[in-house]
């Protein structure tokens, strides 16, 4: 197995391994790299949906079926992220998966099935690096804060539809998932490292601040997360896989390919209750 770091803060390319056929020793090496580099990339991986799920289970318990994302009929925990002619992708936001849950997911594993000839990259950023870039005074001020996260960004998106009574289907589903509160600075349960835990898609406000103060603080952190030196960008090809740590990263899907066909399968692994740093 060859593991090549791709930047100082985030990302590594892993070669010489088949994810569908890892022995325990190989998985241990891979898992250590996952913690160290936060997102791992692989090329030319042949995995059936069943093998995808089986591999993901080595990281922990799988998330239940997503409340409104499309999924495979035979494997409901495999989300299908798909673009087709006449159905371009929705507006993209920097985000961390499922932070609108009281217990967010631990990691995500994305397997490319069909890709456009050009475009459709994904960018990840290290929120640990964002924390380290702050001054000690800034860090101290953030430690005591919490933020509210909510499932609200998909209303009116391609994942939404209008019910018989004229209401948004996503809005109706969202009532089953009330807003939740998470620490602004989270301690990673395995590395012990602090990470800034906000994202522009699901974080609504910093608790205890005025609307203006909250907006200013969040925008400052979002802009810091967009600094290129904290990021890694990956170009998808069929068979490519990305595995990332949802506690210490954000990601952004680049929607520059119009409605050209694109299809990826995602499986997510359940996390645990977040602890403040």
Q: What percent of the chain has pLDDT over 90?
A: 86
Residue range 221-227: average pLDDT? 97
- Domain for residue 10, yes or no? yes
The pTM of the full predicted model, rounded to 2 decimals, is 0.94
Check which CATH number belongs to the domain holding 257 and give it. Answer: 3.60.130.10
Give the chain's mean pLDDT.
94
Is the pLDDT assigned to residue 212 strictly greater than 70?
Answer: yes
Q: Which residues of 74-86 are buried (b: 16+ CB within 10 A; e: fewer)?
A: ebebbbebbbeee
Structural domain for 65, as ranges: 2-272
DSSP 113: E
Determine whether 259 is an active site residue.
no
Determine whether 97 is an active site residue.
yes
- Domain for residue 85, yes or no? yes
pLDDT at 194: 98
CA 264/CA 203 separation, integer angstroms? 25
Confidence class of residue 166 from pLDDT cuts 50, 70 and 90? confident
Of 9, 37, 52, 95, catalytic:
95
Show the beta-strand stretches assigned E in 127-215: 146-149, 180-183, 185-187, 194-196, 203-206
Of 9, 52, 97, 224, catalytic:
97
Is the pLDDT assigned to residue 82 strictly greater than 70?
Answer: yes
- Domain for residue 196, yes or no? yes
Number of domains composing the chain: 1
Determine whether 182 is an active site residue.
no
3-state secondary structure at position 6: coil
Confidence class of residue 151 from pLDDT cuts 50, 70 and 90? confident
- Domain for residue 78, yes or no? yes
Determine whether 95 is an active site residue.
yes
């Amino acid at each position: 197995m060859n593991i090549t770091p791709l930047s100082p803060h985030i990302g590594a390319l892993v070669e010489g391994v088949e994810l569908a056929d890892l022995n325990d020793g190989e998985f241990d090496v891979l898992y250590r790299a996952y913690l160290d580099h936060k997102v791992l990339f692989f090329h030319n991986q042949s995995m059936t949906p069943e093998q995808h799920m089986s591999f993901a289970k080595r990281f922990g318990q799988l998330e239940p079926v997503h409340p409104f994302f499309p999924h495979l009929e035979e494997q409901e925990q495999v989300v299908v992220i798909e673009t087709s002619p006449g159905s371009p992708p929705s507006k993209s936001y920097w985000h961390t998966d499922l932070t609108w849950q009281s217990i967010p997911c631990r990691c995500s594993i994305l397997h490319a099935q069909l890709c456009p000839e050009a475009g459709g990259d994904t960018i990840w950023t290290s929120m640990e690096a964002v924390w380290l870039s702050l001054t000690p005074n800034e860090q101290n001020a953030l430690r005591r804060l919490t933020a509210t996260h909510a499932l609200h960004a998909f209303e009116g998106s391609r994942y939404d539809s209008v019910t018989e009574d004229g209401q948004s289907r996503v809005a109706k589903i969202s009532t089953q998932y009330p807003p939740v509160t998470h620490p602004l600075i989270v301690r990673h349960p395995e590395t012990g490292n602090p990470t800034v835990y906000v994202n522009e898609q699901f974080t609504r406000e910093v608790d205890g601040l005025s609307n203006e103060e909250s907006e200013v603080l969040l925008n400052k952190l979002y802009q810091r997360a967009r600094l290129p030196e904290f990021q890694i960008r990956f170009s998808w090809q069929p068979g490519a896989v990305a595995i990332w740590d949802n506690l210490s990263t954000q990601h952004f899907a680049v929607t520059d390919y119009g409605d050209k066909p694109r299809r990826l399968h995602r499986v997510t692994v359940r996390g645990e209750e977040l602890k403040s740093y």
